[in-house]
Amino acid sequence: MIPYASWTGTKANLSALRGAGWRVLTGPPILARNAWARPRWDDGSPAPFALDNGAWTAHQQDRPFDSDAFSRSADAVGEQADWIVVPDIVAGGLESLEFSVSWFDRLRRYRLLLLAVQDGMSPDDVRPILSSRIGLFLGGSTEWKLSTMHQWGQLTREVGSYYHIGRVNTVRRIYWCNDAGADSFDGTSVTRFSCNLSRLDNARRQLAIFQEKP
């Protein structure tokens, strides 16, 4: 699994992430502060990254989703991103799905888009949408995410889509992501506390070793 950490401006944490081979997840607020430039490591080298849409941050701050900021982010760095999370409505259910689909035509030029699934959606709702270029980002409430992550993994394997799981900050959840068949995950734990990096990265690497054994 590919690990992503939420962006941080702390050079010590960036250095630790770079050394461990992690990637970063960034979004419109961060890119705006960096003059709409792609993320860079502590040494100035380009950081491999994925682009979030900013909906979760707006939800946490109780403000409307900024579609203009997201569009500007995609225009600025979308071609360089590993993948882009299509705009969604946090806890929006099928309304969120309809909103995300309305963005597809504007974003199809990018190599990989991830549809954020939320409480209230089912595999049958999104199956016709997924493809090799439209994958799945598992969001939603914590309880719903943990109870449904395996069914989403099964769906993405069936249709050949990319599968990412958000808000993964413990060793146990890394194991669960692996069992569910996730291609990648992200979290804030190592962003805020670099001391957590070795513990979480060791768990990820051990899983990779076990999977390589015949």
List the one residue out of 43, 47, 57, 2 whose CA is nearest residue 24.
Answer: 47
List the one residue out of 102, 104, 167 whose CA is nearest residue 138.
Answer: 167
Provide the residue ranges of all domains of the chain, joining segments of one domain with +. 2-212
Confirm if 158 and 123 have CB atoms less than 8 A apart: no
Pairing relation of β-strands 163-165 and 184-187?
parallel
SS3 call for 213: coil
* pTM of the shown model: 0.94
Query: How far does Cα 132 stand from its chain's mean position?
Result: 17
pLDDT digits (tens, 9 = 90+) for 16-60: 999 999 999 999 999 999 999 999 999 999 999 999 999 988 888
What would the two tokens of residue 187 be?
């979290």
User: What's the pLDDT at 210?
Assistant: 54
Of residues 212 and 46, the one with the higher pLDDT is 46
Taking 70 as the threshold, does the pLDDT of residue 211 lie above it? no
Quick one: fold of 2-212? TIM Barrel (3.20.20)
Q: CB atoms < 10 A from the CB of 52, how many? A: 29
Binning pLDDT at 50, 70 and 90, where does residue 214 land?
very low
Question: CB neighbours of 183 closer than 8 A, spacing ≥ 6?
Answer: 1, 2, 135, 162, 163, 164
Pairing relation of β-strands 49-51 and 2-6?
unpaired
pLDDT digits (tens, 9 = 90+) for 76-131: 999 999 999 999 999 899 999 999 999 999 999 999 999 999 999 999 999 999 99
Q: At what angle do helices 171-180 and 142-159 cross, to 10 degrees?
A: 30
Question: CB neighbours of 212 closer than 8 A, spacing ≥ 6?
Answer: none
Confirm if 13 and 24 have CB atoms less than 8 A apart: no
Taking 90 as the threshold, does the pLDDT of residue 191 lie above it? no
